């Protein structure tokens, strides 16, 4: 499966380079990038899942447009569908993913991160919420933005951290969901010669989607399970900055 994932990652990279050679319009490039990524993600999903772009609705709210929605297409009907644009029942949703072609400044990253955090809060943290960027900030810059976001309202924002940030060819930031506030909030995997491959990064994203979005399945897929067991060996834990650690520690004292 690791070799297959590497081939899928190479396929994505080739499509990215080819499209950028021919097309200059940012909107068209962005939509094509979403289509490429959806096609690869779909290969790792159960047959009962649908994948598209569109909106999520409950009896109390409707979401902003989601670049990628992964949902149960068997037990819940589409509320609306035109092509691959769908409106789906909140209860059907397993995962959502924001897709960015380039996110190369802190203001843009903060805006995208806040959007994800607000949606994560809206759905009660009960689904996978992530960001995939074809190019983006350095790891240190992204973490700096996230710390500043938490500082805005620490006791609320530390509960509304999206599941994953994946910047292609650079790194993944995974929220460390262990039920304990005081432990390191993030797991980091760097994509490099000394780190993981792009294919392994792709598998990591799928592991996180399955962990958060498909908990109803009694068995974790064996073809992802091998890589999930190896993740602790290749990831590093990132602790809270000192000022935030003090706030977190104070909030958990009896």
Q: pLDDT tier at 2 (50, 70, 90 boundaries)?
A: low
Instruction: Give the pLDDT of residue 177.
Output: 85
Instruction: Give the pLDDT of residue 101.
Output: 87
Q: Reply yes or no on whether the pLDDT at 27 is more than 60.
A: no
> 100-111 burial, b for 16+ CB within 10 Å, e for fewer?
bbebeeeebbbe
Q: Reply yes or no on whether the pLDDT at 166 is more than 90.
A: yes
Average model confidence (pLDDT) across the chain: 89
Instruction: Give the pLDDT of residue 14.
Output: 66
Q: Cβ(25)–Cβ(54) under 8 Å?
A: no
Distance CA 16, CA 31 (A): 12
- The pTM assigned to this predicted structure is 0.90
Instruction: Give the pLDDT of residue 17.
Output: 60
Distance CA 20, CA 7 (A): 20
Distance CA 27, CA 48 (A): 31
DSSP state of 161: -
- Range of weakest confidence among 58-72, 113-127, 208-222, 226-240: 208-222
Instruction: Give the pLDDT of residue 12.
Output: 65
Instruction: Give the pLDDT of residue 136.
Output: 95
Quick one: residue 178, left, alpha or beta (phi over 0 = left, psi -120 to 50 = alpha)? Answer: alpha
């Amino acid at each position: 499966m690791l070799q297959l994932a590497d081939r899928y990652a190479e396929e994505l990279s080739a499509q990215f380079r080819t499209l950028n050679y021919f097309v200059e319009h940012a909107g068209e490039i962005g939509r094509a990038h979403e289509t490429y990524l959806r096609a690869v993600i779909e290969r790792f999903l159960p047959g009962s899942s649908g994948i598209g772009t569109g909106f999520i609705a409950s009896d109390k709210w409707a979401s902003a447009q989601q670049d990628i929605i992964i949902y149960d297409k068997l037990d819940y009907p589409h509320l609306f569908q035109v092509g691959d644009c769908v409106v789906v029942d909140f209860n059907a949703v397993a995962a959502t993913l924001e897709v960015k072609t380039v996110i190369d400044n802190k203001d843009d990253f903060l805006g995208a991160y806040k959007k994800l955090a607000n949606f994560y809060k809206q759905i009660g943290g009960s689904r996978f919420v992530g960001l995939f960027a074809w190019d983006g900030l350095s790891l240190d810059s992204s973490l700096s933005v996230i710390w500043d976001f938490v500082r805005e309202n620490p006791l609320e924002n530390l509960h509304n951290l999206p599941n994953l940030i994946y910047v292609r060819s650079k790194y993944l930031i995974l929220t460390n969901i262990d039920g304990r506030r005081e432990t390191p909030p993030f797991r980091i995997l760097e994509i490099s010669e000394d780190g993981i491959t792009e294919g392994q990064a792709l598998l990591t994203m799928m592991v996180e989607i399955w962990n958060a979005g498909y908990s109803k399945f009694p068995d974790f897929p064996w073809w992802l399970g091998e890589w999930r067991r190896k993740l602790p060996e290749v990831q590093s834990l990132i602790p809270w900055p000192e000022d935030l650690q003090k706030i977190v520690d104070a909030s958990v004292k009896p």
